[in-house]
Amino acid sequence: MKVFRKAKHIREKYLEENMWPSIFCQACGIGTVLSCALRAIDKVGLDLDKTVFVSGIGCSSRLPGYIDADGLHTTHGRAITFATGVKLANPELDIIVFTGDGDLAGIGGNHFIHAARRNIDMTVICVNNYNYGMTGSQLSPTTPVGGIATTSPYGNIESPFDLSALAIGAGAPYVARWTTIYPHETMMAIKKGIEKKGFAFIEILTPCPVGYGRRNKLKQGKDYLLWFKQNSIARSRFEKLSEEEKRDCRKVVIGGLQDVEKPEFTSEWSRLVDKHFVE
Amino acid sequence: MRKPRTKPAAASKYQPVRPFTEEEFSRVRRVLGQKVLFVQGDAAVSYGALLAGCRFFAGYPITPATETSEILSQLLPRVGGVCIQMEDEIASVGAIIGASRAGAKSMTATSGPGFSLMQENIGYAAMTETPCVIVDVQRSGPSTGQPTEGAQGDIMQAKWGSHGDYELIALSPSTVQECLDLTIDAFNLSEIYSVPVILLTDGIIGHMREKVVLPEFEEVELVWRKAPTRPKDEFQPFFDDGSKIPETATFGTGYHTYITGLTHSDTGYPATDSQPEHHRLVSRLCAKIRDNRDKIIKVQKDYQDGAEENTIGIVSYGVTSRSVNSAVKLLRREGLNIDHLRIITNWPFPEKEVAELAGRAGRIVIPELNLGQVYHSVREAAAGQCDIVPMWKTGGEMHTPDEIIRVVKGNG
- Chain A residues in contact with B93 by the CB 8 A cut-off are 81
Give the mean pLDDT of B122-131: 98
Q: How confident is the model at residue B18, as a pLDDT? A: 85
pLDDT band at B11 (very low <50, low <70, confident <90, very high): confident
Measured in angstroms, the CA of A89 and the nearest CA of chain B are apart by 5
The beta-carbon neighbor of B14 closest among A19, A195, A273 is A273
- Chain B residues in contact with A266 by the CB 8 A cut-off are 8, 14
pTM: 0.97
In angstroms, the CA B112 to CA B109 distance is: 10
The beta-carbon neighbor of A195 closest among B4, B16, B106 is B4
pLDDT band at A68 (very low <50, low <70, confident <90, very high): very high
Give the mean pLDDT of B385-400: 96
The beta-carbon neighbor of B254 closest among A49, A94, A270 is A49
Q: How confident is the model over B47-64, as pLDDT tens digits?
A: 999 999 999 999 999 999
Least confident of A2-16, B67-81, B150-164, B236-250: A2-16
Give the mean pLDDT of A116-139: 98
pLDDT at B211 over 50: yes
In angstroms, the CA A107 to CA A126 distance is: 14
Query: Which residue of chain B is at minimal alpha-carbon distance from A79?
Result: B94
Contact A89 B56 (CB under 8 A): yes
pLDDT at B6 over 70: no
Number of helices and strands (H, E) in chain B?
14, 16
Q: Which CATH architecture has domain A28-276?
A: 3-Layer(aba) Sandwich (3.40)
Contact A270 B17 (CB under 8 A): no
Contact B98 A89 (CB under 8 A): yes
Question: How many residues can be counted in chain A?
Answer: 279
Beta-carbon contacts of residue B411 (< 8 Å; ≥ 6 apart): none
In angstroms, the CA A145 to CA A86 distance is: 37
Closest-CA residue to B356 (of B373, B339, B372) = B339
pLDDT at A41 over 70: yes
The beta-carbon neighbor of A90 closest among B12, B97, B252 is B252
Least confident of B31-45, B219-233, B297-311: B297-311
Contact B252 A82 (CB under 8 A): no
Q: Is the peptide bond before B348 cis (omega within 30 degrees of 0)?
A: yes
Beta-carbon contacts of residue B253 (< 8 Å; ≥ 6 apart): A49, B103
- Chain B residues in contact with A70 by the CB 8 A cut-off are 251-252, 255-258
Q: How confident is the model over B188-203, as pLDDT tens digits?
A: 999 999 999 999 999 9
pLDDT at B216 over 70: yes
Q: Fill in the DSSP letter of residue B164.
A: S
The beta-carbon neighbor of A50 closest among B5, B252, B267 is B252
Measured in angstroms, the CA of B290 and the nearest CA of chain A are apart by 26
Contact B56 A85 (CB under 8 A): yes
- Chain B residues in contact with A270 by the CB 8 A cut-off are 8-9, 12, 14
The beta-carbon neighbor of A85 closest among B88, B96, B261 is B96
The beta-carbon neighbor of B252 closest among A70, A81, A272 is A70
pLDDT at B12 over 60: yes
Contact A89 B253 (CB under 8 A): no
Measured in angstroms, the CA of B14 and the nearest CA of chain A are apart by 5
The beta-carbon neighbor of B261 closest among A43, A74, A276 is A74
Q: Give the largest Cα separation in chain A, rounded.
A: 66
pLDDT at B4 over 60: no
- Phi-psi bin for A45: left (phi > 0), alpha (psi -120 to 50), beta? left
pLDDT band at B19 (very low <50, low <70, confident <90, very high): confident
Give the mean pLDDT of A230-255: 96
pLDDT at A147 over 80: yes
DSSP per-residue codes, A138-152? EE-TTPPTT--BTTB
Q: How confident is the model at residue A264, as a pLDDT? A: 98
> Most B CBs within 10 Å: which of A48, A270, A279, as the mutation test of the B interface?
A270
> Most B CBs within 10 Å: which of A90, A92, A93, A99, as the mutation test of the B interface?
A90
pLDDT band at B174 (very low <50, low <70, confident <90, very high): very high
Distances (CA, A) of B70 to A156, A266, B46, B326, B404: 45, 20, 9, 33, 36
Number of helices and strands (H, E) in chain A?
11, 10
The beta-carbon neighbor of A84 closest among B27, B31, B98 is B98
The angle that helices B41-52 and B22-32 make with each other, rounded to 10 degrees, is 160
User: Which helix H or strand E contains A253, and what residues bound it?
Assistant: strand A252-259
Q: How confident is the model over B65-106, as pLDDT tens digits?
A: 999 999 999 999 999 999 999 999 999 999 999 999 999 999
- Chain B residues in contact with A94 by the CB 8 A cut-off are 3
Beta-strand runs (E) in B130-282: 132-140, 146-150, 169-171, 196-202, 209-213, 258-260
Q: State what percent of residues in chain B have pLDDT above 70.
A: 96
Q: State what percent of residues in chain B have pLDDT above 90.
A: 94
- Pairing status of strand B196-202 against strand A252-259: unpaired
Give the mean pLDDT of B322-329: 98
Measured in angstroms, the CA of B91 and the nearest CA of chain A are apart by 5
The angle that helices B320-333 and B401-408 make with each other, rounded to 10 degrees, is 60
Domains of chain B: 22-219 (3.40.50.970), 299-408 (3.40.50.920)
Rg of the Cα trace of chain B?
22
pLDDT band at B1 (very low <50, low <70, confident <90, very high): very low
Strand partners of residue B280: none
Domain boundaries, chain A: 28-276
Q: For chain A, what percentages of helix, strand and coil (3-state, to nearest 5) are there?
A: 45, 20, 35
Measured in angstroms, the CA of B375 and the nearest CA of chain A are apart by 33
Closest-CA residue to B176 (of B137, B147, B140, B141) = B137
pLDDT band at A20 (very low <50, low <70, confident <90, very high): confident
Q: How confident is the model at residue B340, as a pLDDT? A: 98
The beta-carbon neighbor of A93 closest among B102, B106, B257 is B102
Contact A19 B269 (CB under 8 A): yes
In angstroms, the CA A103 to CA A161 distance is: 13
- Chain B residues in contact with A20 by the CB 8 A cut-off are none
> Most A CBs within 10 Å: which of B7, B79, B163, B257, as the mutation test of the A interface?
B7
CB pairs under 8 A between A and B: 184
pLDDT at B264 over 80: yes
Q: How confident is the model at residue B337, as a pLDDT? A: 94
Contact B94 A84 (CB under 8 A): yes
pLDDT at B2 over 60: no
> Most B CBs within 10 Å: which of A41, A70, A194, A275, as the mutation test of the B interface?
A70
- Chain A residues in contact with B7 by the CB 8 A cut-off are 91-92
> Most B CBs within 10 Å: which of A14, A197, A278, A279, as the mutation test of the B interface?
A278
The beta-carbon neighbor of B99 closest among A48, A69, A86 is A86
Q: How confident is the model at residue B412, as a pLDDT? A: 59
Beta-carbon contacts of residue B201 (< 8 Å; ≥ 6 apart): B41, B42, B45, B135, B136, B137, B138, B172, B173, B179, B318
Contact B3 A44 (CB under 8 A): yes
Q: Mean pLDDT in chain A?
A: 96
Contact A89 B124 (CB under 8 A): no
Q: Which residues of B251-265 are buried (b: 16+ CB within 10 A; e: fewer)?
A: bbbbbbbbbbbbbbe
Query: Which residue of chain A is at minimal alpha-carbon distance from B237?
Result: A70
pLDDT at B5 over 60: no
pLDDT band at B307 (very low <50, low <70, confident <90, very high): low
Query: Which residue of chain B is at minimal alpha-carbon distance from A272?
Result: B77
Closest-CA residue to B397 (of B27, B101, B150) = B150
Closest-CA residue to A125 (of A45, A36, A235, A211) = A36
- Pairing status of strand A131-132 against strand A138-139: antiparallel
Contact B98 A273 (CB under 8 A): no
Measured in angstroms, the CA of A275 and the nearest CA of chain B are apart by 9
Q: How confident is the model at residue B308, as a pLDDT? A: 66
Measured in angstroms, the CA of A279 and the nearest CA of chain B are apart by 7
pLDDT band at B233 (very low <50, low <70, confident <90, very high): very high
Roughly how many angstroms between the first and final C-alpha of chain A, as a whole number? 59
Give the mean pLDDT of A218-237: 94
In angstroms, the CA B19 to CA B13 distance is: 13
